[in-house]
Amino acid sequence: DFDVAYFHSYAHVGIHEEMIKDRVRTETYRAAIMQNQSFIEGKVVVDVGCGTGILSIFCAQAGAKRVYAVDASDIAVQANEVVKANNLTDKVIVLHGRVEDVEIDEEVDVIISEWMGYMLLYESMLGSVITARDRWLKRGGLILPSYATLYMAPVTHPDRYSESIDFWRNVYGIDMSAMMPLAKQCAFEEPSVETITGENVLTWPHVVKHVDCYTIQIHELESIATTFKFKSMMRAPLHGFAFWFDVEFSTPIHCQKKKRANPNEALVLSTAPEDPPTHWQQTMIYFYDPIEVEQDQLIEGSVVLSQSKENARFMNIHLEYASGGRSFVK
């Protein structure tokens, strides 16, 4: 039932419009396809969660012999029309169904997918990419993107805090601060997807999880845990933690080696605060009350991201943090 609802949500054109209009996202994917054209030309590609089919069409334009465009949402019906309108029915085969259920009767050379969700793993389709890899990918085949990294860092964001909370101190001359506990609960009990800048970030980021799309297993997504220790670069109120990710598109030669000879060769799509904004923005976890931190003050703790038992596409976050001798759980 949850999957039905999830796929149904992707039948709405608005979601696809937002993703395609995200130029950073779409143009990085197109650049990655062109950069890897020698591995795509004359080869068989599967596009996991093809949506409107734009990545499948980019692959066909790059000379793919055949592209299997797979989507369980009803948008697949429109994708098929888009393929027809671009005279690509001989190259792009739209399969309307889940990767776990559809049949492809040959091995594939390349898997491409835009699987990342908010905070990388919320509503993520990474499990479907892993399934496609294990079902169809040839040995030595290419996965785009190849790697993903989720980061976190402590942030200060006084403007956001005052807009949502301090606002109640004086409303048209009336003291409505009695509203503040409820306002904090409503504003900050769940993660918030919004755009911040590098100026909001108090420290260097911490790597929560590095994902190697060639080797990661589905069971590894059930629970991800990390401990962190940050040192604040400045004196500021600490309002919470921000999470963001980047993904890397590498060529197959590099896939065989753990370390690349030249790191600059890889194309990266980043959702970091200092990079151009994307539709993923950043994911914020706000505290109910800020903590005043001094320069060089330690902020330490742990975070566990676990798939919801009811719905694996959803995520539970357990955050423990301590600073200045006080500790908290969220």
User: In order of start, what are the domains of the chain with their CATH numbers?
Assistant: 1-113 (3.40.50.150), 146-329 (2.70.160.11)
Q: Which residues are catalytic?
A: 114, 123
Question: What is d(CA 29, CA 269) in angstroms, rounded to the nearest whole number?
Answer: 8
Q: What Rg, from alpha-carbon coordinates, does the chain have?
A: 22
Q: For 86, what's the count of Cα atoms within 13 Å in the CB-facing half-sphere?
A: 17
pLDDT recorded at residue 1: 72
Q: Would you give the DSSP letter of residue 312?
A: T
Q: Would you give the DSSP letter of residue 107?
A: -
Kind of pairing between the strands at 44-48 and 108-113: parallel
How far from each other are the two terminal CA atoms of the chain, in whole angstroms? 29
The residue whose two tokens read 């706000």 is: 286
Structure-block tokens of residue 232: 């604040």
Q: For 18, what's the count of Cα atoms within 13 Å in the CB-facing half-sphere?
A: 10
Residue 62 vs residues 142, 266, 283: alpha-carbon distances, Å: 15, 19, 34
pLDDT recorded at residue 255: 47
Nearest one of 146, 174, 143, 162 to 46, comparing CA atoms: 143
Chain centre distance of CA 273: 14
Assess contact for 91 and 66: CB atoms under 8 A.
yes
Assess contact for 153 and 201: CB atoms under 8 A.
yes
Q: Where are the alpha helices (DSSP H) in 166-308?
A: 180-188, 252-256
Q: For 124, what's the count of Cα atoms within 13 Å in the CB-facing half-sphere?
A: 22
Q: Where are the alpha helices (DSSP H) in the chain?
A: 2-9, 13-21, 23-35, 37-40, 54-61, 75-85, 126-136, 158-164, 180-188, 252-256
The residue whose two tokens read 């500021």 is: 236
Question: Could you tell me the strand order of the sheet in which 137-144 lies?
Answer: 92-96, 66-71, 44-48, 108-113, 137-144
Assess contact for 148 and 245: CB atoms under 8 A.
yes
pLDDT recorded at residue 271: 98
Question: What is d(CA 251, CA 159) in angstroms, rounded to the nearest whole number?
Answer: 43
Per-residue pLDDT 10s for the chain (330 aa) are 767 766 666 657 778 888 889 999 999 999 999 999 999 999 999 999 999 999 999 999 999 999 999 999 999 999 999 999 999 999 999 999 999 999 999 999 999 999 999 999 998 899 999 999 999 999 999 999 999 999 999 999 999 988 888 899 999 999 999 999 999 998 899 999 999 999 999 999 999 999 999 999 999 999 999 999 999 999 999 999 999 999 999 976 544 444 545 555 789 999 999 999 999 999 999 999 999 999 999 999 999 999 999 888 899 999 999 999 999 999
Question: What is d(CA 196, CA 193) in angstroms, rounded to the nearest whole number?
Answer: 10
Nearest one of 93, 140, 129, 111 to 33, comparing CA atoms: 111
Question: Could you tell me the strand order of the sheet in which 326-329 lies?
Answer: 223-231, 298-307, 315-323, 326-329
pLDDT recorded at residue 14: 79
Q: Would you give the DSSP letter of residue 278?
A: -
Q: For the chain, percent helix, then strand, then coil, each to nearest 5?
A: 30, 35, 35
